Amino acid sequence: MKRVITVCLAAVLLSTSLAAADPALRTAVKVEGFKDLFRTGDFFIAGQPTLEELRWLKSAGVTLVVNIRSEAENKEFTATAFNEENVVKEIGLAYALLPVGEKESYSPKTVDSFAALLSGARGKVLLHCASAGRATNLWMAYLVRHYGFEVDEAALVGRQMKFTLPFEDFLGGRILMKLEKIEKK
């Protein structure tokens, strides 16, 4: 019995220390002068970056750009603006594509793939989609799965970026959330 209590206490302390490991991850700040660009710790969460933003992000210490736009979105963007992968590499940054758009891409596997990309990163990271919405949601899931945040804690960070629940506005209050695993059939 003593051993079970010790193991449970160790698990609680570990999860608390993970969530407290970097207090900067508990807040997100909008970067002035740019649309939909937020900083949280050594991470930037954004909508589709412009050439100017990519250059600025490099000067701010970003070394890896993680694009989670779908293949179709990237193809359309390349046809109308610029080839992001080529531009990112030309200015000396690493580039990773982790498409999120199809229903099956919204999964724990995607969060773990994102974490794997980060494990080799040296320097600051830009995570982006088209408008910062999906990027914010992936970031929140990452905080829960890999930093031990409670769902509500991650939602507080997300609300400082692009996570919204219009339902809350209609009710005039904040919805408290918790994670309940759903078994797939």
Please state the pTM of the whole predicted model. 0.84
pLDDT tens string 67-83: 999 999 989 998 889 99
Length of the chain: 185
In sequence order, the β-bridge partners of residue 128 are: 46, 67
pLDDT, one tens digit per residue, over 134-169 is 999 999 999 999 999 999 999 999 999 999 888 888
Burial 122-149 (b: 16+ CB within 10 A, else e): eebbbbbbbebbbbbbbbbbbbbbebbb
pLDDT value at position 9?
38
The pLDDT tens digits of the residues spanning 46-70 come to 999 999 999 999 999 999 999 999 9
24 vs 22, residue with greater confidence = 24
What percent of the chain shows pLDDT beyond 70? 88
Domains defined for the chain, CATH in brackets = 22-163 (3.90.190.10)
11 compared with 156, residue with greater pLDDT: 156
